[in-house]
Each structure stands twice: as C-alpha cells, then as structure tokens.
Amino acid sequence: MPGLCRDCTEIYESDEAGRCPSCGSERTVYHPELRDLSIVHVDCDAFYATIEKRDDPRLKDQPVIVGGRHRGVVMAACYVARRFGIRSAMPMFQALERCPDAIVLPPNREKYSAVGREVRELMRELTPLVEPLSIDEAFLDMSEDPGRDQRPPAQRTAELVNKIEQTLRITASVGLSYNKFLAKIASDLDKPRGFAVIGREEAESFLADKPVRILPGVGPALEQRLADDQIATIADVRALEESVLSGRYGAIGRRLARFSRGEDSRLVRPVHQTKSISSETTFDHDTGDLEVLASALWPLAESVAKRLKKSGFAAGTVVLKLKTSGFKNLTRSHSLPEATQRASTLYETALLPLARLAGSQRFRLIGVGASNLVGADLADPPDLFGNDDTAYDPRHAIDAAREAAQSSAEER
C-alpha cells in the first residue's frame, strides 16, 4: 500500500502502516489511492488565534479567543480554548462562562489578511488552480503541474504545508480526495496539522452515517425541513430516487442526490483576474446623516449583487468605503460566515459600521465592495424563506443598525 511521510515527504510502498522507512517518522499516511487523488482542500488551523500565538510566545499554552468582548462573538478560538467547548460564532459571554481565564484579543484584520496572502502565494507556487474560500482556506487542483513535476499530488501537498509551517510559523490541515466536496470534509477529520484522505472506493460507505448538514447547501433551515421528512443522514438521502428529491426540493434536491453518492462535478476555479467587485457614488453635498447614507448604500448593494451573479462569484467579505469631506478614505471590512450574492446581506453587513461612523463627520462618497470572492455554488445555502431580495425592505434594517451601533458605543 502507498504510504506518505509527512515529515520528509517521501512516498513509498509498504505491506503495513508504520513508521517512515526513510526517516523513521510516525507522521505517516497510508491509502490505496494515495498516488491518484489530486483535489486538495487546505485549511489553516485556528488561523486568527494561531497568528496571535505566533506573534506573542507568552500565549503559547493559554486559551486564546479572538473577538469582541461582552456583546461580541467568538471569531476564532485556539485548540486549548476549544477543549472548553468554545467555538466560532459563539456569543462571547457564553465563551467566557465556559472558560473565565481565556485571553480575549481584538481582531487584527490587516495582519490576518497579510498572512492569508502569503499562504495563497505559497499555494500558487505549487499550482495556478487555487480557489480561495476565505482568508485561511482554499481548494487546489493538482491534476496538472505547469512545471512538469511528476510527483504525486499528495507528496507535493505535504511539502506545501511543511513550507507554510516553516516559513510562516502557522499550521494547516489537508483533505485529499477526487472532488471538492470530499476534500473539504477530509480536511476536518484530523485537525490540527492533519492530513486525511477519502478515496473513491470508500466514499459511499464513509458518507452513509454522516448527518445531512455536511452536504453543501444544507443550512439550518433546510436541515430542519429534511428532518421533518425523516431525512437525517446521507444514507436517508441516498435511499430516495433523485426524481423524488428534485420533486420535493427542486434543484437542491438533485444536488443532494449526487453529493450523497460522493459525486461532485464542480471544478476548482481560480479567481486571479477578479479580486473584488464594488460600486460607489459621490454626493452632491457632504453628509453625515445616516438616513441619507443608508439610502445611497442600498442601490450600491443591489448593483454589486447583480454583478456577482453575472460573473459567477460570491462575496466572502463585505467592504464599506467612505471618503470624508477632507478627502480621507475610510474602509471597514467584515468576513461572512457564509459567502453571499444577496444584496440584503451586503447591505446589512455594511450598514452596521456605517451606523457607527454616521454623525461623527461628513462624507462626500460612499461605496460597498465584495472581496475574498469564491464560486457562486458556495453562496447562500437555500432556506425555507427563499434566497432572493424581492421582498426585502432596506428601511427596516436602519433602526437595528443604529441600536447596535449605540450599544457598541456604550460598551466602549
């Protein structure tokens, strides 16, 4: 059976799993399809928290949380903190109830973005077919190498994560498979510093008892709808004909049927050319009035949403841009838990920082942008309430944003 040493990156044949015959390392991976699989998902481990620990050695063994205190949420938790049950998107007060001694650090987005770009450059040295999903994870298609490196993708991927660890002093986990769906699942199986493989032969048996929520496109609302129909596991999905699923759930039903069999025809799509999509407008008269600013923001969000859909991308990050009456540029960005093409999500995400800034000074220009672009197939999991903005009234969001901004100001 083929084996891979994750330390010296040698690939070899062995009758049984064990230490690397070349260097004696125990960090080995064995799989019968190891030489043949070429779709990779690389996911940095506890990215924000790991960078903070890297930059402050005193934090090495401490439970570290990145996020806002009190009414904020957890953006990232190190693996020490995760032992207490702390996870991303958890309200901060709950996290601190579970681990009162946790060290809470405010996010440093510029630093994280810079490291994310360095990781991506290392990936692109390996293959031009890199599709970022967020600042800290990406798919890679290693089926072809422009440099004619004939070594198996598994070996070259092991070199990549070792290089990330040695040069950037952060760690990453790898999922290796024959399509994007399974590669992403694999990367979560052995964190941190993991290297997991799912091949064609075991895909259906591996998936059978897994919950439906691991299928792409299944969010909480669709998961509940499936549960109401007595569909809880992937085996339950597989037991139904594709025609039945599509008749009940539409297009997503067809996708569920294929994913349940381990099928995924999506290609790894690099986004070199289009790094961001944005729209902006200049006011006739400078203003600091939130109502005026918000009224100008909505059509800009609609414009960006239309361009995302037309170009086949989705926004991983929303950026608010303002230019003051003194011609100073201000930007505020927010990474989304799920990529979007919806104008309402773009609008509401940009509206909160706008509400915090409105009234403090006057602005001559406003803009909204979408960055960290990913494929449209990863956008906005379907839910019971639809996935368009046809019934959305942007005026209803202004009061909520104003109240949230006021609460944030009171905390400071």
Q: What is the DSSP string of 155-204?
A: HHHHHHHHHHHHHH---EEEEEESSHHHHHHHHTTT-SS-EEE--TTTHH
Name residue 15's amino acid: D
Inter-residue contact 156 to 126 (CB < 8 Å): yes
**What is the pTM assigned to this prediction?**
0.67
Task: Report the pLDDT value the prediction gives residue 383, as an integer from 0 to 100.
Answer: 44
Q: Per-residue confidence of the chain (412 residues) as pLDDT tens digits?
A: 999 999 999 999 998 899 999 999 999 999 999 999 999 999 999 999 999 999 999 999 999 999 876 668 898 999 999 999 999 889 999 999 999 999 999 988 788 888 998 999 999 999 989 998 888 999 999 987 655 677 899 999 999 999 999 999 999 999 999 999 999 999 999 999 999 999 999 999 999 999 999 998 898 889 999 999 999 999 999 999 999 999 999 888 999 999 999 999 999 988 655 678 999 999 989 999 999 999 999 999 999 999 998 877 889 999 999 999 988 999 999 998 888 999 999 999 999 999 999 888 999 999 999 998 877 766 776 543 444 566 677 777 877 777 766 665 554 4
- The full set of domains in the chain, from first to last, is 1-30 (no CATH), 47-110 (3.40.1170.60), 203-260 (1.10.150.20), 276-411 (3.30.1490.100)
Pairing of strands 2-5, 11-13: antiparallel
Task: Report the pLDDT value the prediction gives residue 406, as an integer from 0 to 100.
Answer: 64
What gap in Å lies between CA 170 and CA 114, rounded to an integer?
Answer: 13
What gap in Å lies between CA 57 and CA 62, rounded to an integer?
Answer: 10
Closest CA relative to residue 214, chosen from 249, 245, 183: 183
Task: Report the pLDDT value the prediction gives residue 186, as an integer from 0 to 100.
Answer: 96
Closest CA relative to residue 325, chosen from 295, 276, 363: 363
What gap in Å lies between CA 59 and CA 270, rounded to an integer?
Answer: 36
Is residue 137 annotated as part of the catalytic site, yes or no?
yes
Q: Length of the chain in residues, anyone? A: 412
What gap in Å lies between CA 74 and CA 221, rounded to an integer?
Answer: 23
Closest CA relative to residue 336, chosen from 351, 319, 313, 357: 319
Q: Is 163 exposed, middle or buried (CB count within 10 Å of its CB: 0-12, 13-18, 19+)? A: middle
Q: In this structure, what token pair is assigned to residue 248? A: 């009940």
What gap in Å lies between CA 212 and CA 227, rounded to an integer?
Answer: 9
Phi and psi at 146, nearest 5°, equal: -65, -25
Pairing of strands 172-177, 195-197: parallel
- Which of the residues 33, 52, 131, 137 is marked catalytic? 137
Instruction: Classify residue 361 by its DSSP letter.
Output: B
